């Protein structure tokens, strides 16, 4: 309770304490904390412990996700070096391995869970009793859909209206079940696989939900509340050496952008993205973009504060991203922005996962 009061005070005094208005929070996304699970979605206990030690030793302000969301909604300043810890899926390694480490440091965190795996009592998943115990010790329990579905994928012969009604029922039913079991209802949805589209975003807004993706970047006042970015921490991204740069990243000051819907229409496999920035803390010549699978690409500046970026080749079926970064002129750290894309195969079917 005392730590929560300190965090709230720091939020209120962010500008004066740190000398500038801090509007960035780095949200970390974990799955497994284990040596025995797939590396692509795992960090080892040793890596996780090292990362938490780094946060503690370097004065990061680890804050509950719900408080960061409230600050973004109301445009409150956040403390410099604000970090949020989240876990997707609700694996047992969170309770057995991650929780004791987090408890040692007094770090809050959020677990996004799907209901169907809990009801089915899958061997690797936490039970409701496990989640209730974690919630009693301060963990936030939030929505990850009913059955960890690819939310943007329609069923055979399903109309757009029928599809959206099904997804709406899925999310609301999941939220009700989490509330019934744990007493918590934060209305925060982590998109399974990081997949979403504008129709889902609009539906979430109508119900007062926020959405979190798996595209990289710091979250903040310039982020859409239905597509807050997170940095996945696993596999090749689990090493502290690469994570340090991300922990110091800043919310890219995006004023507007075109083509923000991640779901690409048939044949539009080289989407052009136009972004307008607040350039007061950025030198345009230092902005560099990266197209997943195609490497670095300099942006085309259309005006003093608007640039365009487009893939040279077709993006592959599945998920891709455009990432753009630029160092701050006034402080350490890089502004970081990521636009996710997801596309079907040429025949309209989806990559199997």
pLDDT in tens, 101-122: 999 999 999 999 999 999 999 9
pLDDT in tens, 22-34: 689 999 999 999 9
pLDDT in tens, 262-312: 999 999 999 999 999 999 999 999 999 999 999 999 999 999 999 999 999
- pLDDT mean over 38-57: 97
pLDDT of residue 17: 35
- C-alpha 47/C-alpha 64 separation (Å) is 22
* Closest to 23 in 3D by CA, of 71, 61, 83, 66: 71
pTM of whole model > 0.95? no
pLDDT at 15 over 60: no
The residue whose two tokens read 């956040």 is: 78
pLDDT of residue 73: 95
pLDDT in tens, 221-264: 999 999 999 999 999 999 999 999 999 999 999 999 998 999 99
pLDDT of residue 305: 98
Helix intervals (H) in the chain: 2-12, 14-18, 45-57, 65-73, 92-93, 99-105, 115-119, 128-136, 160-182, 198-206, 240-247
What domains sit in the chain, N to C, each tagged with a CATH number? 21-249 (3.20.20.370), 256-343 (2.60.40.10)
pLDDT of residue 336: 97
């Amino acid at each position: 309770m005392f730590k929560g009061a300190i965090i709230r005070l720091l939020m209120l005094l962010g500008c004066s304490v740190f000398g500038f208005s801090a509007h960035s929070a780095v949200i970390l996304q974990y799955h497994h904390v284990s040596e025995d699970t797939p590396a692509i979605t795992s960090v080892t206990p040793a890596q996780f412990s090292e990362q938490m030690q780094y946060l503690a030793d370097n004065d990061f302000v680890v804050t509950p996700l719900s408080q960061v969301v409230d600050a973004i909604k109301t445009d409150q300043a956040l403390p410099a070096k604000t970090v949020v810890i989240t876990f997707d899926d609700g694996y047992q390694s969170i309770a057995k391995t991650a929780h004791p480490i987090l408890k040692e440091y007094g770090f809050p965190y959020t677990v996004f869970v799907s209901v169907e795996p809990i009801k089915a009592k899958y061997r690797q998943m936490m039970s409701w009793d496990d989640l209730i115990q974690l919630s009693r010790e301060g963990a936030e329990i939030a929505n990850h859909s009913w059955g960890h579905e690819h939310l943007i994928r329609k069923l055979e012969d399903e109309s757009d209206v029928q599809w959206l009604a099904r997804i709406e029922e899925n999310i609301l039913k999941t939220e009700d079940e989490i509330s019934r079991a744990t007493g918590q209802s934060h209305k925060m949805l982590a998109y399974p696989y990081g997949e979403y589209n504008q129709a889902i975003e609009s539906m979430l807004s109508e119900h007062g939900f926020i959405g979190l993706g798996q595209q990289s970047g710091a979250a903040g006042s310039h982020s859409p509340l239905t597509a807050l970015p997170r940095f996945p921490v696993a596999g090749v991204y689990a090493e502290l050496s690469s994570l340090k740069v991300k922990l110091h990243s800043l919310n890219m000051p995006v004023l507007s952008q075109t083509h923000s819907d991640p779901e690409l229409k048939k044949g539009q496999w080289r989407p052009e993205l136009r972004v307008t920035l607040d350039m007061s803390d950025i030198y345009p010549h230092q902005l560099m973009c990266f197209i997943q699978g195609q490497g670095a690409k300099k942006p085309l500046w259309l005006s003093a504060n608007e640039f365009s970026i487009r893939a040279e080749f077709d993006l592959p079926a599945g998920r891709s991203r455009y990432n753009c970064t630029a160092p701050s002129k006034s402080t350490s750290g890089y502004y970081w922005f990521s636009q996710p894309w997801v596309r079907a195969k040429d025949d309209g079917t989806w990559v199997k996962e």
